[in-house]
Structure 1
Amino acid sequence: MSDGSHRLIIRTAAQARRRRLMVVVAVATLLVSGWGIYWLGRLQAPTAIERQVASQQKIESDRKLLLAEKRRLEAENRKLSERNVMLERGADVDQQAISALQTSLDDVQAQVATLKKELAFYRGIVSPSETEAGLRLQELQVHPASEAGLYQFQLVLIQAVEHESPVSGQVKLRLEGLQNGESVSLAWPELVLDSADELVFSFKYFQELADTFRLPPDFEPTLVEVIVTTEPGAEPVTGSFRWREVFKPDD
């Protein structure tokens, strides 16, 4: 009896130690598993704080990139603005130079045209051709006067130098045009302000004549005829000029 009781007690103590060991192992296993799951979870899914930190870091990084890009664009814009100002200044200088050059060119061309006109004028006096010898109508211009309906004409008469004697005579104008849709011819007494006024000339080489005349309000001139009479019995010198070619309206 005594031996059997002793073996029972030993088995019971051994079983208790095994149970405690199993419990310790189980607890350790649970702790290790839980710790592993925790770290695995941390590795696989960041916490809210970590996500917030990461989000703030990304925002700050993006902000720095945008700020750097903004500064780059502002610097480029300044360069382009400075270049544009330089180009505009250069264009202004070029345009001013071109305008000044064009003005000078226009002046020179006008002077050349005037010189050509004067040269032709004096050539006609000094060495006229056979068909141009004698008394000639050199030029006619009509300008509007200060009063409405009034006009002033300027007529240049020339004579070649081969004629040593002065020439004298009288000039009259006659206008053709339309009045109330009909063809009308106006003689000098109908045009001149004073019907008793006579336009006379006397010169050896050339003379410029001028006078003022009036047109009816409803008269549209188309042609100006100049009649120059000299000594009695001599053939009059006449010339016809289109109104649109001799009329020089004021600019």
Structure 2
Amino acid sequence: MRLTLLLLILAVPAAFYGGAWWQARSTQVFMAEHKALQARLGEQAREIDQLRQSLALASSGEKVAQQANEQNRLTIKLLEEQIFKQQQDLAFYKGVLAPASRREGLRIRAFELQATDRPRHFRYKLLLSRVGKDDKPLQGQLRVTVEGRQGGKDVSLELAALTQGLPDPLSEQVIAFTFKHFQAIPEAGRFAELKLPEGFEPRQVRVRAEVKGEKPLERTFKWIEEE
């Protein structure tokens, strides 16, 4: 009994000190894990700050690029309008000074094509003029088709269908026009865009113009090589 009592008396402080030691040990482990977690959080915070700075720089660069592109677009638009005005004046003088032996009336002057940096996307502009001294507006309509091959067959595609979903789309297959001396399509000498379907190999553009009371006029223009 005495031995048992002695063991019980000794077990109480042993348990107390053992619990204190375990608590201290657990606290040390917890503090170490806490410090490690804080270190990881600090690293992640620095990474986030770096990403935010990189994003800010990228956004700033993108804004600068967008501003430069917008400025270039406005400059191109201004130059195209100036060229259009000069072409109008030139067409007027050519029409007035044309030899009397030449047939007066509508002329399909050009169908201009330019390749773009996007595959199968092209910029185009159609130019019309008239010969003669008549100052009354010339009215008529155009039909423009792109001819080529697709799937081993000859195919003719309407220009209006190739412009859908792009800037300055054509709403109708037949393009109406009214002008005195010079006409550009789109207006003001700007370029519009067209997109060729996959698998289509263009050869030429056919432009057919009709003016009431006159014989239809037709011209073909060879397709350009895509750069």
**TM class by smaller structure:** 0.3 to 0.5
Larger Rg: 1
**Greater RCO, CA 8 A, separation 6+:** 2
Provide the TM-score with structure 1 as the length reference: 0.43
Which is helix-richer, 1 or 2?
Answer: 1
